Amino acid sequence: MQRYFLNTAYGTTTPQSYEVSGEPFHHMVHVMRMEVGTQVYLVFSDGVSVEARIGQINSDSVVLELGNREQVHRELPINVTIASGFPKGDKLEWIVQKGTELGANQFLAFPAKTSIVKWDQKKRQKKQERLQKIAQEAAEQSHRQSCPRVVLLENQSQLLTQMQTADQVLIAYEESAKKGEHAQLVETFKKMRPGQQLLVIFGPEGGFLPEEIAQFLSAGALCCGLGPRILRTETAPLYVLGAASYHYELCQAEPTSVD
């Protein structure tokens, strides 16, 4: 069943109907050629997801009758932010697409010292809008109940500022993997409480310079390994998100499962 993310909140008044115009209207009527009676999900900005039936189609809007709230909870219990040093090519596009399917709450990207691409303010703005659209399409397709936010940062000090708002910060560090570090990601997952934010930092293809690692560490980040194999910059974030889902959504429901 098609789902649409809305900019307005569902609130506490349990509305009986809702009128959409603009982009979702266009997609329902002109792209999907939906007719009166078609069922969709409307996802409101406060994360409420509601079954809705098209009741009336106007020339520039659609009126939907709102039904029951979606019962299944589809979001990770913690908010995972993926922070990637600007990678080459279209890797950021698919980190955002796959990471959204896997439950990421937010994507940050920043110019790391070894990042090859240089994006000025205009280019960053354009790319951010494109990535936000990719995130929304992936969120709709994967039945998310919230759409991840995508922000392209201008410099690393903006990343350090973002780190201050996170409850836990990890660095996916190749050297930790090489040294066989294995406990940190598990320990961090165990420490975290529902609704808290985990920010995980990933380097670009060239990795991080020692001074970058030192700066992150002094800002409170911890290094973690992601298993004994060396993962590419676009693969490591998917490992962390898959592990988070396995830990919280598959194992937690079975408390003794990894004894």
Per-position x/- string for 65-104, each x denoting binding to a second copy as judged by CB under 8 A, each - no binding = -------xxx-----------------------x--xxx-
Q: Is 228 in the site for a second copy (CB under 8 A)?
A: yes
d(CA 54, CA 60): 14
Binding segment for a second copy (CB under 8 A), chosen from 4-12, 107-115, 163-171, 250-258, is 250-258
Q: Is 1 in the site for a second copy (CB under 8 A)?
A: no
Binding segment for a second copy (CB under 8 A), chosen from 16-24, 27-35, 57-65, 141-149, is 141-149
Q: Is 37 in the site for a second copy (CB under 8 A)?
A: no
Specify the residue for token string 């997801």: 49
Q: Is 195 in the site for a second copy (CB under 8 A)?
A: no
d(CA 84, CA 233): 8
Please report how close the Cβ of residue 236 comes to a second copy at its closest, in angstroms: 9
Using the minimum distance from each CB to a second copy, give the nearer residue, 73 or 123.
Answer: 73
User: Taking Cα atoms as reference points, which of 39, 20, 239 lies closest to residue 247?
Assistant: 239
Using the minimum distance from each CB to a second copy, give the nearer residue, 29 or 104.
Answer: 104
Per-position x/- string for 144-163, each x denoting binding to a second copy as judged by CB under 8 A, each - no binding = x-------------------
Using the minimum distance from each CB to a second copy, give the nearer residue, 130 or 143.
Answer: 143
Of 61, 156, 197, 235, the one binding a second copy by CB under 8 A: 235
Cα dist from 73 to 50, 101, 210, 232, whole Å: 12, 14, 41, 31
- Tokens representing 1? 């069943």
Q: Is 40 in the site for a second copy (CB under 8 A)?
A: no
The contact set with a second copy (CB under 8 A) reads 72-74, 98, 101-103, 141-144, 178, 180, 182-183, 185-187, 189-190, 225-232, 235, 238-239, 241-243, 245-247, 249-259
